[in-house]
Structure 1
Amino acid sequence: MIGTSTPEYIFIRASIAGLRAITPLSVLYCGFCVVRPPQSIVGKVLVAWAAIETAFYFLVYLPRKHILQKAADHPEPLDPEHRKVLFQRCFSTIPDAELYLSKWFLGSPMEDIKRENIKDFFRWAFLNTADYNPADEEELETYINGVEELLGRKIEPGRGSAKCLRLTIDEVGMMHRSFFWYCIVGLVDTATAVHFKYRGFNLYRTPLRRFFDVFPLRPLTLFSTHHSPAEHTSYWYRPHTSKTKLPVLFVHGIGIGLFPYVQFFGEINQSEDYKASDGDVGIIAVEIMPICMRITPAAIAKEDMCREINSILEKHGWDKFVLISHSYGTVISTHLLQNPTVAPKIGPILLVDPVTFLLHLPDVAYNFTARKPRTANEHQLYYLASQDMGVSHTLSRHFFWNENILWLEDIEKHDVTVSLSGRDLIVNSDAVGRYLVGAAPESSESGSAWSDDDGAWKEAPWGGVGLDVLWWQEADHAQVFDIVRARKKLVEVVKRYVRSGKGANGTVYGTIKG
C-alpha cells in the first residue's frame, strides 16, 4: 500500500488514468485505421494491439460484467434464537450507534434514516433477504428497539431517502481492466514463481484441464510435476524437514497474489540457530485465485474451501500446524477454526490486519466497497482492488458477514497474535484492538460508548502465550510486510510459535509425519 503524500497522489492518479485510457484509445485507433489503414510496421503492430484491447473489452469484459451480476446464493438464515444471540453480541460491541447507522447507510444524515430503512438493512443483515415478509415484523421491531436503546431516542416511523449498504444484494461494481494490465499481472506472477523456486518452494498445481480457468495463463503449471489434491486450490509448498517444530499454513489477502509476502517467507528459516537445528520449517502458501486480480471462476463455498485445504494438509501428513493469515485470508482462517475436521489441527495463530473481528461494524464493508477515494492509498485500494471484477464479485456474492465474523471465544484455546496497523484504511484497528484487550463498550445515557482506555495495550510487550496484540502506529493495511522492523517481529512470532510444542491450554502438539 502506498502512502498519502502529494507525489504519491499524483503518481497513482496518473497511473490509473493511463491504465483506464488504454481501451478507449484502442477503440478510437481501430476506428481510425478502418479509414486510413497503417502502412508502417509500427503502425501495423499498434493496430494489432489495439484490436486485441478492443476485442477484450467487447468480447470478454462486457459479457462477464453481465454474468457476474447474477444474484448471490445466500445461506439459510440462522434460527430466531441464534439470530437473537447474534444481535445481542453485535450490539454489545458498537462504540458509536450514530456512526454505525450512518456508515451502513452510506454516510446519510440521521434524519434521512427512518424505521423502514433500518428494517431493510436488518432483513439483509440477519434474515439474508431483501424481501418483505409480515412474519418477520415482530423480530425486526425487536432489533429496532435495540437500536433505539443504543441511540437513546426513538426512531421516526416511515421511510426516509437513505439507502443502506447491502453487500450481497447490491450491484457488483467493477471497472474494466485492459489486456495490457493482465500482461503486467502475468509478469508479477512469473516473478513470484522465481522467488518461490529460489527459496525452495514447489508449485502444486490444479488439474491441467483447469489450465484455461485462470487468466492470465500460468505457463509454469504446464511444467510442474507436483499435483494439488484439491480440485480448485493450488499452493506453493516448502518441504517440512524438522521433527520438533510445527509447519506453517499461510493464507494471503486480496491483491496480486503471494508476491508481497516472499521476503516474509524467506526470513522464517533464515537464522543461524535454525541452520544448526534439526531441519527447516515447512510452509504451505495457499493461492486464492478469485481475489488475485485475475479472471477466474467464482470463489468456492466455505465448506468446499475447508475440505480442499484439509486434503492438502493430509497429503503432507500435517496433523498440527501454525496458522498465519493476512486480511481477507483471516476470513478463510475463521472458516477453518469453525470446521470440525480442520480446527483440531490448528496450533498457534498469527492474524495480520484481520478483517473478521467486529465485522458487524460498517468499517470493512464501507471502506472497501463504498467509500469515495480521496487520498493516494484510497485511490490505489479502490481501483486496483475494490473495482477488480474478481475481487468485487467475491465480496458481493460470496462474502456473508455472519459466517465470516470471528469472536474472542473462537480463539480462546489457542496462542494468538493479532497484528494491527494504526493507519489501516480498511479496518477500524483501534476498535478491534480495544475489543481484543477487553476495553468493551459500556452503556451511557447517550447510547453506547467505549470504556476508558489509555491505550497502554498498544505498547504492551509480546508474551507468546494466550492473546497478544501487536500495534504498528505508522503502518497502513499490509505495510507491516514492507517495514523491516515490523516484518522481523512477525517472523520472531512465527519462530516462537513453531518451537512452542504446546498451546495455552497445555495441549502437546507432537511431531509431524512428513
Structure 2
Amino acid sequence: MKPKSNDLSRKSPKICRDYQHISHDPLTHRHQLLKRILDRVQKNCEVEGKEFRDEFDIFLRGWFDVIPNKSKKDLVSREKKKSEMSFSFLDSVDRQSVEIFFSWAFFDKQWYRLETWESDEIAVMFKMLENYGITFQREKDMTSRDCTFIPRCMTLEKSNSIHRPLAFYFFFGWIRMLGYLILLMFGYRRYTIQCESGNHMTYWFRDSRDISKHQNDETILFQHGISPGGLANYIPFIVYCLNQMNRCVFIPETHSITCSLSFHALDEEEMVDAVQKALRRHKKLKNGLYIVSHSFGTFQSTWILKAKEIRPLIRKVVLIDPVSILLSFPDVLSNFLYSDRNKKDQMNWIQRLNIEVVRLLASSELFIEDYLRRKFAWFNSELWLEDIPCDTYIFLAEDDVILNACKIQKELDRHLVGSARKNIFYTVWNNIRHAEVLFKPRLLNEVKQALETSTERRKRD
C-alpha cells in the first residue's frame, strides 16, 4: 500500500480560497496570503518590541530542515551542533530554496511545474519581502556553507509511515465497532452521503428529545480529531457534553484519521458539500449551528466556516486543542509530521516521550499520513481569528506537544486588544496534554459550560 501512497499522480490541484472576494479571479492574488502572514508577524513585533527581521528569520527557518554538509560533519563538535541554529538563516539560505518552499506553500506544486502567473505571484512575494529589507542571494553567488537547507514540502514528499501488522487494524476496528454500539445505545443513527467523486461520508445523527426544539434550536456539528479507534475515544465527550445539551447532534466521521484501511479521504470541497447535503436531509440547513471541533477537526471546521451556505447559520464556535490557529507558523506540521527534528536536543525527556507517543500512535500511520500529504491544503486550512463570525470559545492545553499553546495565547491576547470584536473567550489548562480533555470530567464540564452559555470570558493563566 505504501507505493500507492507515494504516487503523486493521485494528488489533485487545490485552489486557494481565502481571497475570492478580492476580484473575479482570486488565483492571481495568491500573494495576499503572504501579505496577511507578514502583517501578523509585524503586529506581533510591535506588541513585543522585537525586530521584524529576527522574527521572520525564526518563522522561515522552522519550515526547513538544516543539515550539516558531509564535508563539515566530522569537524563539527557536539557543542557546535547545539548552537548551529544561532546563525542568521535569512543570510544563509539561497533564493531557490525559498522559491521551492513558496511553490509548495502557496500552490502545492514543485517549482518547475509552476505556470507563468504562478511564477509572477512568487516574484511579487519576493518584492514584498524586499520592502521589509529581506533579500536572498542566488546559490551560485554564495560562498560555501556549512549547512544545507531543505524545505519541508509536506504534500510533495514521500510517506514516512511505519509498518503495522494487520492485527493492529483489526484491534482498532473492534474498538471502533464498540464505539458504534455505544452510540446506538444513546440514540444515534448512522447515515451515508454519496459524493459526486464516488467517495462517501458517513455520519452519526441524533435528534433532540424535545420535539418542540426540532425546528427552532441550533444543531451541534462536531468534528473529531485524529483518533486510533475513531469515535470510541470521544464517547465520554459526546455523552457528557453533547448529549446533555438536548439538541440535535450531527457527527461526521473521517475514517482516514481513525487507523482504518482507507485511502478514500474527502478533500475540502467534498467534505463541505457532504455536510450541506446531510443537514439538508434532516431539514437542519435553516437552523442555527454550533460548531464544535477537536484537534484535526478544527481544520474541517475552518472549511465549514468558509462555506457560503453554512456560514450565515453559525451561532457559536467551540475549539479544543485548535491546531488550525497559526497554522502558517511551522509548529504544528513540524511537531506532528517531522517530530520536531530541529529542536529535539532542546526538549526534556517528558516532551520527547510525548512526541514519540504521538508519532507511534498517529503521525507515522500510513492512512493518516496519506490524508495529510495527499489531500490536505495548507493554505486553505488556517483559521484566522478575524474571520470567525460569532462567539468563539477556545481551549488550550499548556503541555501540548503538537501546537504551541503559548504562541496561540499571545495571538489571542493581541487580537482581543487590537480588535473591536471582543467575542473570543479562551481557557488555558495548566499541566494538561493534547487530547487529555477527552478523559477528564473537570475539563469536560468547562467545555459543557461554554456550550450552554456565552456570558463572560473565562481565562486560566
TM-score normalised by length of structure 2: 0.76
Q: Which amino acid aligns with 1:354?
A: P
Q: Aligned with 1:234: secondary structure?
A: strand
Q: Provide the rounded CA distance (Å) in 1 between the counterparts of 2:310 and 2:387.
A: 14
Q: Provide the rounded CA distance (Å) in 2 between the counterparts of 1:174 and 1:328.
A: 18
Larger displacement relative to structure 2 (136-145 or 154-163): 136-145
* 1:347 lines up with 2:315 in the alignment: yes
Q: Which amino acid aligns with 1:176?
A: H
* 1:474 lines up with 2:454 in the alignment: no
Which residue of the partner structure matches residue 381 of structure 1?
358
Larger Rg over CA atoms: 1
Q: Provide the rounded CA distance (Å) in 2 between the counterparts of 1:399 and 1:282.
A: 29
Question: Identity of counterpart residues, as a percentage?
Answer: 24
Aligned pairs for 1:362-381 within 5 A = 362-371=330-339, 372=341, 375-381=352-358
Q: Aligned with 1:375: secondary structure?
A: helix
Which residue of the partner structure matches residue 216 of structure 1?
none
Describe the shift of the 1:77–1:334 C-alpha distance in structure 2 as closer, same or farther (beyond 3 A). Answer: closer
Q: Which amino acid aligns with 1:163?
A: I
Which residue of the partner structure matches residue 113 of structure 1?
93
* Structure 2 residue corresponding to 1:75, chosen from 6, 14, 32: 14
Q: Aligned with 1:341: secondary structure?
A: coil
Q: Which runs of 5+ in 1 are unaligned?
A: 1-63, 211-229, 275-279, 441-450, 454-463, 501-514
Deviation track 1:476-513 (CA, whole Å, cap 9, x = no partner) reads: 2111222322111001111226xx9xxxxxxxxxxxxx
Q: Provide the rounded CA distance (Å) in 1 between the counterparts of 2:406 and 2:201.
A: 34
Which residue of the partner structure matches residue 357 of structure 1?
325
Q: Root-mean-square deviation (CA), in Å?
A: 3.0
Q: Provide the rounded CA distance (Å) in 1 between the counterparts of 2:240 and 2:227.
A: 21
Aligned residues of 2:225 and 2:293 also touching (Cα < 8 A): yes
Which residue of the partner structure matches residue 23 of structure 2?
none
| C-alpha displacement of 1:383 | 1.7
Q: Provide the rounded CA distance (Å) in 2 between the counterparts of 1:139 and 1:76.
A: 14
Q: Aligned with 1:233: secondary structure?
A: strand
Aligned residues of 1:106 and 1:370 also touching (Cα < 8 A): no
| C-alpha displacement of 1:206 | 6.4
* 1:129 lines up with 2:100 in the alignment: no
Q: Provide the rounded CA distance (Å) in 1 between the counterparts of 2:192 and 2:12.
A: 28
Which residue of the partner structure matches residue 295 of structure 2?
327
Which residue of the partner structure matches residue 395 of structure 1?
372
* 1:422 lines up with 2:422 in the alignment: no
* 1:91 lines up with 2:68 in the alignment: no
Which residue of the partner structure matches residue 20 of structure 2?
none
Aligned residues of 2:179 and 2:235 also touching (Cα < 8 A): yes
- The alignment of Structure 1 onto Structure 2 pairs a total of residues equal to 384
Q: Which runs of 5+ in 2 are unaligned?
A: 18-25, 45-54, 68-84, 345-350, 456-461
Deviation track 1:267-307 (CA, whole Å, cap 9, x = no partner) reads: 23677xx7xxxxx3221121101111111133122111111
Q: Which amino acid aligns with 2:269?
A: E
Describe the shift of the 1:145–1:190 C-alpha distance in structure 2 as closer, same or farther (beyond 3 A). Answer: same
| C-alpha displacement of 1:255 | 1.4
Aligned residues of 1:264 and 1:491 also touching (Cα < 8 A): no
Q: Provide the rounded CA distance (Å) in 2 between the counterparts of 1:185 and 1:247.
A: 30
Q: Aligned with 2:283: secondary structure?
A: coil
Q: Which amino acid aligns with 1:478?
A: A
Describe the shift of the 1:248–1:68 C-alpha distance in structure 2 as closer, same or farther (beyond 3 A). Answer: same
Q: Which amino acid aligns with 2:161?
A: M
* Structure 1 residue corresponding to 2:172, chosen from 181, 185, 188: 185
Aligned residues of 1:76 and 1:128 also touching (Cα < 8 A): no
TM-score normalised by length of structure 1: 0.68
Q: Provide the rounded CA distance (Å) in 2 between the counterparts of 1:126 and 1:162.
A: 19
Describe the shift of the 1:86–1:194 C-alpha distance in structure 2 as closer, same or farther (beyond 3 A). Answer: same
Aligned residues of 1:233 and 1:308 also touching (Cα < 8 A): yes
Q: Provide the rounded CA distance (Å) in 2 between the counterparts of 1:137 and 1:66.
A: 31
* 1:158 lines up with 2:126 in the alignment: no
* Structure 2 residue corresponding to 1:143, chosen from 115, 119, 125: 125
Which residue of the partner structure matches residue 251 of structure 2?
285
* 1:102 lines up with 2:82 in the alignment: no
Deviation track 1:3-25 (CA, whole Å, cap 9, x = no partner) reads: xxxxxxxxxxxxxxxxxxxxxxx
Q: Provide the rounded CA distance (Å) in 2 between the counterparts of 1:77 and 1:323.
A: 23
Aligned residues of 1:68 and 1:172 also touching (Cα < 8 A): yes
Aligned residues of 1:416 and 1:466 also touching (Cα < 8 A): yes
Q: Provide the rounded CA distance (Å) in 2 between the counterparts of 1:282 and 1:467.
A: 24
Describe the shift of the 1:250–1:270 C-alpha distance in structure 2 as closer, same or farther (beyond 3 A). Answer: closer
